[in-house]
Structure 1
Amino acid sequence: MAQEFELADSPSDGISSVIFSPSDPALLLSASWDKHVRLHDVQSNSLRHKYSHKAAVFDVCFAEPHVAVSGGLDKRVKMVDLNTGQESILGKHDDAVRNVVYDPESKTMISGSWDKTIRQWDFRQPPSRPAGVQKQSDKVLSLDITPNGHKLVVAMANRHVFVYDTRNMDETFQKRESSLKFMTRAVKCMPNGEGYASSSIEGRIAVEFFDPSEEVQKKKYAFKCHRQTVDGVENVYPVHSLAFHPIFGTFASGGGDGIVNVWDGYNKKRIRQYPRYPTCIASLSFSPDGQQLAVASSYTWDELEKDAPTDTIFVRTVAEAEVKPKTQA
């Protein structure tokens, strides 16, 4: 029987991002429109640390086991030592910082912004001096990096998707057009590093592969999801978040319909659909051992201004049968 609980001290305004520590399943970071980043202890259901930005925070990640890096509307890339509380500004963009990811290979941070650039930040360099700047063709909406750090996927507002080999950021490894006809909401890399999944505002998910060979490219596909038919009318919802299971390589999707689905991407099957959450699913994250799923239930303004349930982070204990491909059972 699945168990689930609400995190104490959840953000008081729109939740933009939740992410588990890659090494400690007890630690979860959350970012919010209330201008704060929170470090939650999932085991004790307590708040360990909290720090602020000057405006809404869009994304946060763990750079090292006890280092958080975040960015948002204040255009700053901020680093905080979660043990000592020491804060520093790694640097700034010219517009809002949409995403931050850590490259474990080069031990640098990578941020993507609405200023149409991605930038690398070396912890050892003085603040405000990025280790590299790559101009993009439009606003960055989502980015992610493979676990080994070698591939960086950047999704932009014009449906372009750029792939970089992080060992040579001076060149774009691949330039693609999204398989999805409408604006990208999220992109996540597969744990095995072979490809990525992306989602759109129009209730679709695409599964893509890096290998350009014709044989491998035949495997890519897209499918409809997060749709409901009410009184004969199909309602289509944005797919706001994706999260890969770190062990089985299946992935979860969260939509504006308040639903979380778990998919077997290789066998093109849905494994599980969880009961509806109070409102839209803004962000998802699996713990590093794959035994828990953090679900940010937070209204995402899909239907403009309206009364919505309180923003809440749920932590769900995940049974193996919910995330394991049927062929491996």
Structure 2
Amino acid sequence: MEGACLKIEKPIGDAITKIRFAPQSNNLLISSWDSILRVYDVDNSLLRLEASSEAALLDCCFQGESVAFSVGTDCCLRRYDIHSGTHKAIGAHDDLATCVEFSEETCQVITTGLDKKIMCWDTRISDFVAYSKAVGSEVECMSVCGLYLLLGVGASVNIFDLRYLEGPIQTKNSAMDYRIECVCSFPNHKGYAIGSIDGRVALACLDPSEENGTGCVFRCHPKYKDGRYHLVAVNDIVPHPHQYGAFVTGDNEGYVIAWDGQSRKRLFELPRFPRSVASLSYNHNGQLLAVASSYIYEGEKEIENPPQIFIQKMDESHVRSASSGTQKSGSLLILLHSFSLSDRLLGSVIGNISLSFKLFSHGRNSQCKTARDCEQFVSTEVDFPSLIFKVPGILCWVRNIKISREREREREIESVYKLILSLTLYSVFYPALCNFPSTICIPRLESSVAMSDEEHHFESKADAGASKTYPQQAGTIRKNGYIVIKGRPCKVVEVSTSKTGKHGHAKCHFVGIDIFNAKKLEDIVPSSHNCDVPHVTRTDYQLIDISEDGFVSLLTENGNTKDDLRLPTDEQLLTSIKDGFAEGKDLVVTVMSAMGEEQICALKDIGPK
């Protein structure tokens, strides 16, 4: 089901940064780069507030139903009275203010900024006295979890007690090697989820003693066909307000996916949205999901089309998916075909079902009297999660039948329907023993996609380097580091940064040398955008032999030989290898690997043989 797009009379003029539903109503708060804070009444399709300021707005939040706050590129925190339409600046950071949250427990507004500070503003005091605490690093994202504050800093989560902001009470590594893009706490204040720029999500408990193996890391997208990982930043995560452990993720490619963290399953995926998903928000009862589809100034090929906000109604099927871990999967025949059954076995299964129905209808007034009637009935009437065969005569509960990908599919499905046939025959020939209502039902065949299967598997930190490249923010890449320029792995020999542009993004000019052919390459990237960085490894091998056609034979650690490398093209290194080998020296060569290429890059002389 596709969501309805909000019709705002004066369209949003620039990228959306945050959307949030009010705590108890369907008023939607919207902040954006066009410097306007909006409050839209979703129920009545009415714009309740449109307040302009002098700077782009980077975040916003509600305090109750009548007050809102925003932070922006002018470093200021602003307070808005939604009923009167007035607003004023109540304080400021020393640099851009980037995040804002309201804590109901402490009645504080908490902000962070590029000045590497947390600031807390007490709303119970008329002049909004602020308390600030330096954190030493730029905060990427923030979430309030009861009396605790979660800060995404680099690849770690810093946890503060809002009552004592002297320092973090915990610093948790996220089990992800890349920058955290978003963090959200669950409604019960016991756990949280974080999303990273490489497309992974991690779940963790606030109290380390309650972990007990419940923490996990998974990728939101499966691998490409060539085995590379689908690296798409997770821009936002929002929990369901009533289903503990259920949450949705939104990413740079416009995908919104719902997950069940407790059972570790993917619940459903919404149709792809036209632009990146910049922000998400559930309403107070979980019946509406707002999706901000907008460019976000983090992609090189982004087209700056007007942003849109979609309201997705979460109907009973979505709620049932979240609570039971199952989702509707279509008709029985579609299921059978999806398991790639042979024509012979498919015919046998349908035949068994048909025979069952014909036996049921014997001596009764049934709607399924022929095999074709049965097949048509099954294909149109039998749906998940409850397969209901509306035929008078018997109620057979076949419990806990699950189609497992790891087991032999054909044999298992055939066994299931032979069991149905057996129960049917038994009930027909022994009616005295069958004192059941007039429905036959198979309660549920498991149909959800597990997050731990081959497409969405859980991984350890060691799995993170399986891809050829990983994303890194351009502004953090330094001289002598690595970067991919024009599809080639390069070592950075020069970096220069231009001044801040229209949207607050400086430009980085990179000059790199190809690590394999020594060619000079250049690229210009906005400092806030992600660049591909190659995984570069160096491995030492003992040189055994040099062939006449220029290949070397190397001894690996496990005693095998590696014979697929040529001699290096660098004249000085080539001469040193040939001369040392001719003199009978014991040589060790260093092989550099990156993006599927290998080359000898160094030589060590460990003495005569």
Q: Same fold (TM over 0.5)?
A: yes
- Determine whether 1:307 maps to 2:303: yes
Shift of the alpha carbon at 1:72?
1.5
Residue aligning to 2:115? 115
- Determine whether 1:144 maps to 2:143: yes
Paired residues for 1:193-232 under 5 Å: 193-213=189-209, 216-226=211-221, 229=224
Q: Return the letter of the residue paired with 2:295.
A: Y
Instruction: Return the alpha-carbon distance in structure 1 between the equivalents of residues 255 and 223 of structure 2.
Output: 11
Would the alpha carbon gap of residues 127 and 178 (structure 1) be closer, same or farther in structure 2, given more than 3 Å must change? farther
Residue aligning to 2:239? 244
Shift of the alpha carbon at 1:98?
1.4
Instruction: Return the alpha-carbon distance in structure 2 between the equivalents of residues 251 and 179 of structure 1.
Output: 20
Instruction: Return the alpha-carbon distance in structure 2 between the equivalents of residues 44 and 230 of structure 1.
Output: 46
2:140 counterpart SS class: strand
- Determine whether 1:80 maps to 2:77: no
> Using CA pairs below 8 Å that are at least 6 residues apart, which structure has the higher relative contact order?
1
Shift of the alpha carbon at 1:55?
1.6
2:208 counterpart SS class: coil
Residue aligning to 1:191? 187
Shift of the alpha carbon at 1:129?
3.8
Instruction: Return the alpha-carbon distance in structure 2 between the equivalents of residues 228 and 277 of structure 1.
Output: 21
Superposition TM-score, scaled by structure 2 size = 0.51
Residue aligning to 2:53? 53
Instruction: Return the alpha-carbon distance in structure 2 between the equivalents of residues 107 and 43 of structure 1.
Output: 28
Instruction: Return the alpha-carbon distance in structure 1 between the equivalents of residues 232 and 71 of structure 2.
Output: 26
Q: Is the 8 A contact 1:8 1:47 kept in 2?
A: no
Q: Return the letter of the residue paired with 1:224.
A: R
1:236 counterpart SS class: coil
**Larger Cα-atom Rg:** 2
1:5-63 superposed Cα distances (whole Å, 9 cap, x missing partner): 11122522101100000111x20001101111100010122211111232211111101
Q: Is the 8 A contact 1:75 1:97 kept in 2?
A: yes
Q: Return the letter of the residue paired with 1:216.
A: E
Residue aligning to 1:27? 27
User: Unpaired runs of 5+ in structure 1?
Assistant: none
Would the alpha carbon gap of residues 4 and 227 (structure 1) be closer, same or farther in structure 2, given more than 3 Å must change? same
Q: Return the letter of the residue paired with 1:134.
A: K
Residue aligning to 2:324? 326
Would the alpha carbon gap of residues 221 and 234 (structure 1) be closer, same or farther in structure 2, given more than 3 Å must change? closer
1:322 counterpart SS class: helix
Query: How many matched pairs?
Result: 322
Paired residues for 1:128-143 under 5 Å: 129-130=129-130, 132-143=131-142
Instruction: Return the alpha-carbon distance in structure 2 between the equivalents of residues 136 and 177 of structure 1.
Output: 16
Q: Is the 8 A contact 1:262 1:322 kept in 2?
A: no
Instruction: Return the alpha-carbon distance in structure 2 between the equivalents of residues 162 and 192 of structure 1.
Output: 19
Shift of the alpha carbon at 1:302?
3.6
User: Unpaired runs of 5+ in structure 2?
Assistant: 327-384, 386-609
Instruction: Return the alpha-carbon distance in structure 2 between the equivalents of residues 7 and 228 of structure 1.
Output: 34
Instruction: Return the alpha-carbon distance in structure 2 between the equivalents of residues 161 and 107 of structure 1.
Output: 23
Would the alpha carbon gap of residues 128 and 204 (structure 1) be closer, same or farther in structure 2, given more than 3 Å must change? same
Q: 1:316 aligns with which of 296, 312, 324?
A: 312
Shift of the alpha carbon at 1:299?
1.3
1:194-241 superposed Cα distances (whole Å, 9 cap, x missing partner): 11100011000000111122x525211111114563787654210001
Instruction: Return the alpha-carbon distance in structure 1 between the equivalents of residues 142 and 228 of structure 2.
Output: 33
Paired residues for 1:171-190 under 5 Å: 171-190=167-186
